[in-house]
């Protein structure tokens, strides 16, 4: 064992001890139920700063910037470039240049994307001191990815000193002004990342230009496309299962805040290195799944030969329906039914299609689907809809009564709402049949009298 090996062993030992101490500190603070999550994090930060100051005063040591031997700057800016000839999993990075604005508008449900492309988009992902939001949550790592010349460029802004947040955001603002991005892409960014960034910019009296741009939050799109194909639509899981990327879930998200606070206290950069990797991989994964989703929608719309599973065809249909292209979505729902879908999912699609065809007065298609659903004998709505069809459209109360009676029999003791509906329907249909029978009898009597 040489001296470098010994140093590495000691470094890891110290890191474990530091990590354990912060975990214990957080455990003690977390036990104080009278504090909010934000107040707990602020208290942890204040204690960490105090201990850090005391450690420096006692040892006389100066915090070093990793790999340089100088005092830490207030923030770090790190960059990586990935040439477009490369791949992320199975996705060629260059595919992002070929996504038309029409497809982006469908994915985002926003017509402002029509004239745009991914070449002007910025992908955003944050790592923060907590998930509660509000003024007590600080994004200590801001990751951006964007296409530039022949590369996918990733820029990460890492905050070394919380008091210098304004300086870091000013640096970020200058990059945003320089690049003049035309759209924003995120994963749950509408609900968290962008509102948080806007709050931080506002508190530091800076203009937040990203808030003015069209925004594609791909989390919702991904769920529509793949929630029936994969167990999870977490970004990491989609990168592994759909893109075939080699990334792993490097650290649990709940560890990120206390790792950062421990870094502020100890200066041990090894604590936050996994966070930097995690953030960079999330940006690559986001780029990859957006491109994969866009290519999927583009190829299906252009009727290119693509062999898709029923779940993916269903996902494309959902995307089109949410974008207002209902007629096109119906085509994909019908195609999905031709492929294999799980029983409950297949029934749900059939019901939705049957209702659509009923609204469009395409009675044959609607009735065929309701009749098909009768085979399971489990869905009471199909009996109700067939009773409605034969009573009001075909004017055949006797046929309608058959479905109403079957529905009543199945609903008793199972669903009170349907049971009451079928009882009223059976009573009304019996009265109609009696009136029709009386009219028919009266007609026969008149005919005999006339003879």
**Quick one: 125 and 180 in the same domain?**
yes
185 forms beta bridges with: 123, 216
| 139 close to 291: Cβ distance less than 8 angstroms | no
Minimal CA–CA distance to 154: which of 286, 320, 318?
286
Give the model's pLDDT for residue 379. Answer: 84
Say which CATH number the domain at 197 has: 3.30.420.10
Torsions phi, psi for 155 (to 5 deg):
-120, 130
Mean pLDDT for the chain? 84
216 forms beta bridges with: 185
More confident call, 91 vs 439: 91
Give the model's pLDDT for residue 449. Answer: 63
Give the model's pLDDT for residue 247. Answer: 79
Give the model's pLDDT for residue 42. Answer: 53
pLDDT one-digit tens code per residue, 210-262: 999 999 999 999 999 999 999 999 999 999 999 999 877 678 888 899 999 99
**Quick one: 311 and 286 in the same domain?**
no
**Quick one: 148 and 274 in the same domain?**
yes
| 141 close to 279: Cβ distance less than 8 angstroms | yes
The residue segments making up the domain with residue 318 are 307-361
In a domain, 67, yes or no: no
| 206 close to 172: Cβ distance less than 8 angstroms | no
Q: Where are the alpha helices (DSSP H) in 302-359?
A: 310-322, 326-338, 343-359
Final residue of a structural domain among 317, 333, 361:
361
What span, in angstroms and rounded, lies between the C-alpha atoms of 431 and 397?
10
409: enclosing H helix or E strand: helix 397-411
**Quick one: 148 and 257 in the same domain?**
yes
Spell out the residues 6+ positions from residue 185 whose beta carbon is closer than 8 angstroms to its own.
118, 121, 122, 123, 124, 215, 216, 218, 286, 290
145 forms beta bridges with: 123, 154
* pLDDT mean over 110-123: 97
87 forms beta bridges with: 92
**Quick one: 53 and 89 in the same domain?**
no
In a domain, 48, yes or no: yes
**Quick one: 155 and 211 in the same domain?**
yes
* pLDDT mean over 135-157: 94
- Per 3-state DSSP, what percentage of the chain is helix, strand, and coil (rounded to 5)? 65, 10, 25
* pLDDT at 133 > cutoff 80: no
What span, in angstroms and rounded, lies between the C-alpha atoms of 117 and 96?
9
**Quick one: 169 and 228 in the same domain?**
yes
In a domain, 366, yes or no: no
Residue with tokens 């009170």: 416
Give the model's pLDDT for residue 36. Answer: 56
In a domain, 116, yes or no: yes
In a domain, 248, yes or no: yes
Give the model's pLDDT for residue 92. Answer: 96
In a domain, 64, yes or no: no
pLDDT one-digit tens code per residue, 158-178: 999 999 999 999 999 999 999
**Quick one: 124 and 89 in the same domain?**
yes
Pairing of strands 215-217, 183-186: parallel
| 142 close to 76: Cβ distance less than 8 angstroms | no
* pLDDT at 2 > cutoff 70: no
**Quick one: 237 and 99 in the same domain?**
yes
Minimal CA–CA distance to 185: which of 141, 122, 233?
122
Minimal CA–CA distance to 337: which of 357, 321, 352?
352
**The tokens of 338 are what?**
């031709």
How many domains does the chain contain in total?
Answer: 4
**Quick one: 152 and 283 in the same domain?**
yes
* pLDDT mean over 343-368: 92
What span, in angstroms and rounded, lies between the C-alpha atoms of 276 and 283?
11
| 160 close to 138: Cβ distance less than 8 angstroms | no
In a domain, 65, yes or no: no
The upper half-sphere exposure of residue 72, i.e. CA atoms within 13 Å in the direction of its Cβ, equals 21
Please state the pTM of the whole predicted model. 0.77
């Amino acid at each position: 064992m040489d001296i470098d090996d010994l140093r590495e062993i000691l470094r890891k030992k110290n890191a474990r001890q530091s990590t354990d101490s912060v975990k214990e500190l957080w455990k003690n603070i977390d036990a104080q139920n009278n504090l909010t999550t934000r107040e707990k994090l602020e208290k942890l930060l204040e204690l960490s700063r105090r201990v850090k100051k005391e450690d420096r005063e006692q040892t006389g040591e100066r915090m070093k910037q990793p790999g340089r031997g100088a005092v830490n700057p207030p923030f770090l800016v790190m960059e990586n470039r990935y040439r477009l000839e490369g791949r992320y999993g199975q996705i060629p990075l260059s595919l992002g240049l070929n996504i038309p604005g029409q497809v982006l508008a469908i994915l985002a449900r926003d017509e402002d994307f029509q004239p745009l492309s991914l070449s002007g988009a910025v992908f955003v992902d944050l790592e923060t001191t907590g998930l509660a939001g509000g003024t007590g949550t600080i994004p200590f790592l801001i990751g951006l990815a964007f296409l530039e010349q022949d590369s996918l460029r990733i820029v990460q802004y890492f905050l070394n000193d919380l008091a210098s947040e304004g300086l870091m955001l000013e640096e970020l603002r200058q990059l945003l002004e320089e690049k003049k991005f035309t759209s924003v892409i995120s994963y749950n960014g509408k609900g968290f990342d962008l509102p948080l960034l806007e709050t931080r910019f506002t508190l530091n009296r800076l203009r937040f230009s990203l808030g003015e741009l069209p925004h594609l939050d791909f989390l919702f799109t991904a769920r529509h496309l793949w929630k029936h194909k994969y167990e999870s639509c977490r970004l990491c899981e989609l990168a592994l299962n759909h893109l075939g990327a080699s990334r792993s879930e490097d650290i649990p998200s709940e560890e990120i805040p206390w790792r950062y606070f421990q870094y502020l206290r100890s200066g041990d950069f090894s604590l936050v290195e996994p966070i930097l990797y995690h953030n960079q991989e999330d940006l690559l994964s986001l780029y990859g799944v957006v491109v994969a989703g866009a290519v999927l929608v583009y190829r299906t719309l252009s009727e290119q030969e693509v062999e898709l599973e029923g779940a993916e065809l269903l996902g494309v249909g959902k995307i089109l329906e949410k974008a207002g292209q209902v007629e096109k979505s119906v085509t994909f729902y019908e195609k999905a039914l031709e492929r294999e879908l799980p029983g409950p999912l297949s029934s749900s699609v059939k019901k939705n299609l049957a209702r659509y065809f009923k609204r469009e007065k395409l009675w044959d298609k609607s009735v065929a689907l309701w009749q098909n659903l009768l085979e399971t004998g489990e869905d009471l709505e199909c009996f109700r809809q067939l009773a409605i069809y034969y009573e009001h459209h075909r004017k055949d109360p006797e046929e309608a009564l058959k479905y109403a009676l079957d529905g009543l029999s199945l609903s008793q003791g199972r669903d009170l709402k349907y049971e009451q509906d079928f009882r009223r329907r059976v009573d009304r249909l019996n009265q109609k049949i009696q009136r029709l029978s009386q009219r028919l009898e009266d007609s026969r009597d008149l005919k005999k009298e006339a003879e």
